[in-house]
Amino acid sequence: MKDILQQLDGRRQIARLGGGQRRIDAQHGRGKLTARERLELLLDEGSFEEYDTFVTHRCVDFDMQKDKPYGDGVVTGWGTINGRQVYVFSQDFTVMGGSVSETHAAKICKIMDMAIQNGAPVIGLNDSGGARIQEGVASLAAYGEVFHRNITASGVVPQISVIMGPCAGGAVYSPAMTDFIFMVKDTSYMFVTGPDVVKTVTNEVVSAEDLGGAVTHTRKSSVADAAFENDVEAMIEVRRLVDFLPLNNREAPPKRPFFDDPARLEPSLDTLVPDNPNAPYDMKELILKVADEGDFYEIQAEFAKNIITGFIRLEGRSVGVVANQPMVLAGCLDIDSSRKAARFVRFCDAFEIPILTFVDVPGFLPGTSQEYGGVIKHGAKLLYAYGEATVPKVTVITRKAYGGAYVVMASKHLRADFNYAWPTAEVAVMGAKGAVEILYRSELGDVEKTAARTKEYEDRFANPFVAAEKGFIDEVIMPHSTRKRVARAFAALRNKKQTVPWKKHDNIPL
Ligand code: HXC
């Protein structure tokens, strides 16, 4: 008996060594942790239960039967993050570059099936040279199996991808279908075709970093939601995110203990909006002052900074925040910000996370680049996403809410539940200057008359009361009481049920 136990222990030790000490050292030399070291940081200590430790590939081409490492280049299983279950896979670059064989993919599919069945998030740590070349089409088919499960799991359990090494070819499409993608600076990259192919086909010379590094994907393409300094920070931040999310679409988001009075007043908010209606201010200040303990988990902080998206907690419960940022492009909506916010709103709605919207929006950004880029369709994504969302929706207009953008930003007309406005709010078709230029074009030569018309327009429309008279604004609130009012609103909406007509699925303007 003792022998058998020792044998098992021996096999486990071999499995833990992956591709061997030399390759582990090389992995460390690149500033990367191994697949197992990453899982140790990601999961609660001692919580990891491994599946398929002894799986090996079945390929016999290219003499592959002579090299059959345990685990086949991916460590899979489940564990807990702050006591809550998650399924994980972590690709082991030390085993054939973490490349995806039929059996490697089958291991990933197994834990994805379990995650869908048992209602727990899937977290994938990607570090792979892509399809295992020796297995040819079998590995492509295997990728297809993973892709299909990504689609099945979408909207059922949260899916998080962390890119911690190369991620090339069709391999990027599995992360692309997950809810959040994180990267590690300097050691990870994602592209459909690498720099060599780019050079051959387009004659462009570009480095891997410029083509698909963390900076590129968090600032330019918006493929990735955030980039972290190193593996350790990435694992800590994924843990932080998981704490905001429900385990599945049938479960409410977690309720954490909180040490912040929901009725806390913030007198400084009374002077947040400057006297000059065109002067910027930092909307993040409002978010931080409303959030429990000032804790804000921002998503896509480096992209389309004219809109802010992320998670906070109110009375310990997760809330998704969308907010125009007057510091960037005056808070205008444009293609990028609409896409960014629409995807975030849809995630929140899919997972029953209530949505809080802070509005200061002068309208959609005008111009040919926007129109040629399809701002109509992209702007409609946000409109659509807010309109279809049935989760509790609370909106606070701090200053401008002009034109179509007023309707888009979780207005009453899109079935928001509580629409508040600060006394500084201006709900109108457009700003006074633009309005007077159109309505009184013939009088523009007369400076005095134009000034009088402008004042008249401002007096009538540059306030929240016209909208409040019509019931489009439920209440005009004191800025200092925002946290209290918003927390009470969400508390009142805890049992919200909104039904929609049957449909197979919607047809959001993609
Ligand atoms: C088999 C692979 C492999 C692969 C790497 N290795 N990629 N083995 N299939 N796809 C092996 C190497 O042979 C090597 O083995 C070890 O992994 C480490 O690789 P190195 O090249 O030494 O490492 P590095 O210099 O860091 O370069 C990493 C890399 C490079 C950039 C990932 O290996 C590379 O370009 N690989 C090929 C990438 C690729 O074109 N994949 C196919 C993409 S198409 P030893 O024994 O020396 O340690 C695709 C289609 C998916 O994925 C389609 C889905 C529908």
The pLDDT, as a whole number, for residue 443 is: 84
CB atoms near residue 31 (< 10 Å): 12
| 136 φψ region: left (φ > 0), alpha (ψ -120 to 50), beta (else) | left
- The CA-CA-CA angle for residues 401, 324, 267, to 5°, reads 85
Residue 155 Cβ inside 6 Å of ligand 1? The answer reads no
Residue 195 Cβ inside 6 Å of ligand 1? The answer reads no
Q: pLDDT tens across 76-94, in order? A: 999 999 999 999 999 999 9
Residue 124 Cβ inside 6 Å of ligand 1? The answer reads no
Q: Domain holding 149: CATH number?
A: 3.90.226.10
Please state the domain count of the chain: 3
Helix (H, G, I), strand (E, B) or coil at 498: coil
Examine residue 505 and state whether it is found in any structural domain, yes or no: no
Given the residues 119, 155, 170, 316, the one annotated as active site: 170
Least confident of 196-200, 217-221, 307-311: 196-200
C-alpha distances in Å from residue 345, one per residue of 222, 255, 304, 385: 16, 20, 15, 6
How far away, in angstroms, is 73 Cα from ligand 1 center? 12
Residue 171 Cβ inside 6 Å of ligand 1? The answer reads yes
Whether residue 157 is found in the same domain as residue 120:
yes
Whether residue 377 is found in the same domain as residue 447:
no
Report whether pLDDT(372) > 80. Answer: yes
Pocket test of ligand 1: the residue of 59, 66, 92, 96 to mutate, having most ligand atoms within 8 Å of its CB, is 96
d(CA 240, CA 232): 13
Q: For residue 170, indicate whether it is catalytic.
A: yes
Q: pLDDT tens across 412-452, in order? A: 999 999 999 999 999 998 888 888 888 888 888 888 889 99
Q: For residue 31, indicate whether it is catalytic.
A: no
Q: For residue 169, indicate whether it is catalytic.
A: yes
The pLDDT, as a whole number, for residue 118 is: 98
Indicate which residue's Cα is closest to atom 41 of ligand 1: 130
Closest CA to 127 of 276, 286, 234, 220: 234
Closest ligand 1 atom to the C-alpha of 19? Answer: 48
Q: For residue 405, indicate whether it is catalytic.
A: yes
Examine residue 253 and state whether it is found in any structural domain, yes or no: no
Closest ligand 1 atom to the C-alpha of 132? Answer: 9
How far away, in angstroms, is 166 Cα from ligand 1 center? 9
| Helical H segments across 462-502, by residue range | 465-469, 482-492
How far away, in angstroms, is 129 Cα from ligand 1 center? 4
Examine residue 145 and state whether it is found in any structural domain, yes or no: yes
Q: pLDDT tens across 249-281, in order? A: 999 999 999 999 999 999 999 999 999 989 999
Rounded to two decimals, the pTM is 0.96
Whether residue 390 is found in the same domain as residue 479:
yes
**Residue 469: what are its φ and ψ, rounded to 5°?**
-60, -35
DSSP state of 350: H
Whether residue 48 is found in the same domain as residue 103:
yes
**Percent of all residues in the chain with a pLDDT value above 90, rounded to a whole number:** 88
Whether residue 12 is found in the same domain as residue 132:
yes
Closest CA to 392 of 338, 319, 323: 319
User: Domain range spanning residue 440?
Assistant: 431-462
Given the residues 169, 213, 310, 387, the one annotated as active site: 169
Q: What would the DSSP string read from start to end of 397-436?
A: EEEEEEHHHHHHTT-GGGT-SEEEE-TT-EEESS-HHHHH
Whether residue 124 is found in the same domain as residue 33:
yes
Helix (H, G, I), strand (E, B) or coil at 278: coil
Name 159's bridge partners: 122
Question: Measured in whole angstroms, how far is the alpha carbon of residue 506 from the centre of its chain?
Answer: 21
Residue 168 Cβ inside 6 Å of ligand 1? The answer reads yes
Residue 129 Cβ inside 6 Å of ligand 1? The answer reads yes
Whether residue 311 is found in the same domain as residue 373:
yes
DSSP state of 285: H
d(CA 114, CA 245): 19
How far away, in angstroms, is 289 Cα from ligand 1 center? 48
Whether residue 199 is found in the same domain as residue 307:
no
